[in-house]
Structure 1
Amino acid sequence: YTPYTVVDNASYMTIKFLGAQGLFVAIIVAIITGEVFSRLARSPRLMIKMPDQVPPAVARSFKVLIPVIIITILFSVINYLITLIAPEGLNDLVYTVIQAPLKDMGTNVFSVIIIGLVSNLLWVLGTHGPNTVAAIRDTIFTEPNLDNLSYVAQHGSAWGAPYPATWAGLNDGFANYGG
């Protein structure tokens, strides 16, 4: 489900979840869909057998027609059930349940210290620490950093920013100086 906006009696699909915010859900749905499809496509009872006169390309498309229909119906029902729980859809539900708590986790000094320690420990073990923890670090700290950036753009100063304890402010300011 992708939410839409109505402007001048015309419906437009919002692009909010077509970028990085919707990527996590897209990956999970793709993995589940591929796994379910591959299992259903191997079932001989769900295959449509075509006569030998039918070209092979056409026969292959009919062979997996029933699994495609089953997956379409299954995901439509799942989508309907999810919209009963979260009217804004699965992306908004995942954002509320997973990403919002990560944002709260990324606005305190302890998260910066823990991620900094893990990053340095990985250096000791021979792995590029900052690159290894970047996926986790960026997920946790991007939204608070963007909120701080918006605050600076509106007020002209970082004094009074909503999230003073973030990766950019603490680690980059106190741990990474001097190379």
Structure 2
Amino acid sequence: MDCKRFRKQHLAYLDDTMPGDEMAAAQHHVMVCDGCAAHDTLVRRSLMVARSMPVLEPSAAFQARLRARLAECRDECRDDCYDGRMAMAARSALLHAPRSAASRNRRMAVAVAASAMLGAFVWQGWRASAPGLSMQPVIASQPASPMPVSYITPELMQAMATGNPVWPAAMVIEDAPAPFVRSDFTLATFSQLR
């Protein structure tokens, strides 16, 4: 389940009205997604606050006042709706009135000008769409000389095992990675030193 689907079905998740597999997917998503978990916590806390508020009970006179006010609003709405219908009838009469030849000519001129501008934009875009060819830069380079690969020779291993003195620089160069060694130095293995 993704965040969008979870938030869309969040009320069903809170009310526990989702099917079992979707409910399990929603619970898993809340455990995995921090944003949706924070949203769920915020909504649950808000519901707890709203449920813990004291309930206001209206008085018996309130019901009578409410009914009277609703009746007044209905009457006002009927009057407004009648005025609205009259205004809509006047608007439709203006819209469907016969138009003069001057307004028709003006609309035609605007349509022709808009078509000409659209055609000019299309023409400019089509003409400028073929870019000129450019050559790729040429880079002159010298082939790199391959670094000699050195391995620990059996003689060096025997010298290390027997405790014979070994030149420490040979061991350092043998163990150093090739990029760390400067190319102007020559690598030498222990067998080449003899």
TM-score bracket relative to the smaller structure: under 0.3
TM-score by length of 1: 0.23
Q: Which has the larger radius of gyration?
A: 2
Higher relative contact order (CA 8 A, sep 6+): 1
Indicate the structure with greater strand content. 1
